[in-house]
Amino acid sequence: GQQLNQSPQSMFIQEGEDVSMNCTSSSIFNTWLWYKQDPGEGPVLLIALYKAGELTSNGRLTAQFGITRKDSFLNISASIPSDVGIYFCAGHLSGGSNYKLTFGKGTLLTVNP
Amino acid sequence: GAGVSQSPRYKVAKRGQDVALRCDPISGHVSLFWYQQALGQGPEFLTYFQNEAQLDKSGLPSDRFFAERPEGSVSTLKIQRTQQEDSAVYLCASSLLGGGNTGELFFGEGSRLTVL
């Protein structure tokens, strides 16, 4: 079963607002990844984090690898309608294989224009 | 094509039928993965191939699930005697590298299986 707790489960915001979502785990992760999935599509990688404490940006997206290696957050600034979708955190468990990804249950983001 | 291609996109099967789902990875990609995504859940790992070798099949739910990649490119996921709990989207992903660091995974659009 999945070992990542992702919150919130869903968010409904106005265009232009900032958004924050996070993932926590009782287990240590070696990497943290954030994906976006549109309806009927596969997940697409947004940001990858490889070191504890790492803070990485990709346009309006910013993500951090928690210092304890058990959590990560994703921020989206100045949301736009095309940000709508399901956002998943994922990672490689410490002590596990370095190819098998563990995913959270996702955060459904709705942006009201 | 440029991306990972999966077929069929949608499959409806009667309980007890066998199904086969196909994945065409990005040309030249060494690693290939199958994930299962139930409704409202994140993807869950099923199996991993490096070229034609199936290095990990620990995520396959039962012996009714079988995957192959005989020539190190196209892969097929076969489910025998389908059950209702097999209903899910089956995602295929490929990555350029193998071994210790497979690099970024590129996912296909998935095959949605509904078992009646």
Alpha-carbon gap, residue A54 to A28, rounded angstroms: 15
Instruction: State residue B88's pLDDT score.
Output: 98
Contacts of B104 in chain A (CB under 8 A): 45, 48
Mean pLDDT of B65-86: 97
Mean pLDDT of B34-51: 96
**pLDDT tier at B1 (50, 70, 90 boundaries)?**
low
Contact A98 B110 (CB under 8 A): no
Strand partners, A109: A11, A85
Can you give the C-alpha Rg of chain A in angstroms?
A: 13
> Which of B24, B26, B32, B44 to mutate against chain A (most A CBs within 10 Å)?
B44
In chain A, which ranges are E strands? 5-7, 10-14, 19-24, 29-37, 44-49, 55-58, 61-65, 71-76, 85-93, 102-103, 107-112
Is the pLDDT at B107 greater than 90? The verdict is yes
Instruction: State residue A79's pLDDT score.
Output: 97
Nearest CA to A102 out of B22, B41, B86, B7 is that of: B41
The enclosing H or E element of B61 equals none
DSSP letter at B42? -
Instruction: State residue A1's pLDDT score.
Output: 52
DSSP letter at B94? E
Is the pLDDT at B76 greater than 80? The verdict is yes
Q: Which of B4, B42, B101 sits opposite A104 (nearest CB)?
A: B42
Cα torsion B83, B85, B86, B89 to 10°: value is 150
Is the pLDDT at B18 greater than 70? The verdict is yes
Is the pLDDT at B55 greater than 80? The verdict is yes
Strand partners, B78: B20, B66
Mean pLDDT of B68-77: 97
Instruction: State residue B99's pLDDT score.
Output: 67
Backbone torsions φ then ψ of A54, nearest 5 degrees: -65, 135
Instruction: State residue A3's pLDDT score.
Output: 73
Is the pLDDT at B23 greater than 70? The verdict is yes
Tell me the average confidence (pLDDT) per consecutive run of 10 residues in chain A, 113 residues long: 84 97 94 94 94 95 96 97 96 85 95 93
